[in-house]
Amino acid sequence: MRHWLMKSEPATYSIDDLAKKNVPDMWEGCRNYTVRNFIRDQMSIGDLAFFYHSSCAMPGIVGIMEIVSEAFADPTQFDPKSHYFDPKSPLDNPRWFARNVSLVERWPTPVTLSDLRGEPLLAGMGVLQRGQRLSVMPVTDEEWKLVSQIGQAKSAAV
DNA sequence: GCCAACGTTGGC
DNA sequence: GCCAACGTTGGC
């Protein structure tokens, strides 16, 4: 099993939006080829991912999701009304892929970006690297364990 | 709103 | 295939 970090702007789609569904939801709208390859080729059903809130007052990891489907063509690329519409993506050879995800844990007390930066053992994490902008990226087993512990401890302490 | 970093586009 | 221009990301 692999581990991931997946970013979303909470103003667009937050962990509360996912929690409200009570069923798996589609992780859509990725429009970067590196991210596309992760989603299409590297993820597996059963993989776990951190849900990361970006571009907001308190950026950080707000919970855990599970990948629950194979990759499928992201329908928003074919929808002219969608913000994610891509007129150059051929119907018979889609450029962009999505997966369904389901909520595993929502952390009432997030592990903030500054929490992550404050932990020397996490200095190598992709999300902390200067200039990295991928909205989906792999997380090592060690990083996963440590961040999960921090997240669960912070949220249990409330 | 600023700006650094990076990906994508398109002219050549 | 090069590379400048442009657009986007995302923290601050």
Structural domains in chain A, CATH included, are: 3-156 (3.10.590.10)
**CB distance A63 to A17 below 8 Å:** no
In this prediction, residue A57 carries a pLDDT of: 94
| pLDDT score of A25 | 96
**A21, amino acid identity:** K
Do the Cβ atoms of A13 and A26 come closer than 8 Å?
no
* CA A70 / C1′ B9 distance in Å: 31
Footprint of strand C on the protein (CB under 7 A): A 7, 9, 31, 54-56, 59, 113-114, 133-135
What pLDDT, on the 0 to 100 scale, is given for residue A158? 66
pLDDT tens digits in sequence order for chain A, 158 residues long: 999 999 999 999 999 999 998 889 999 999 999 999 999 999 999 999 999 999 999 999 999 999 999 999 999 999 988 989 998 898 889 999 999 999 999 999 999 999 999 999 999 999 999 988 999 999 999 999 999 999 999 999 76
Task: Measure, in angstroms, how far nucleotide C11 C1' is from residue A56 CA.
Answer: 9
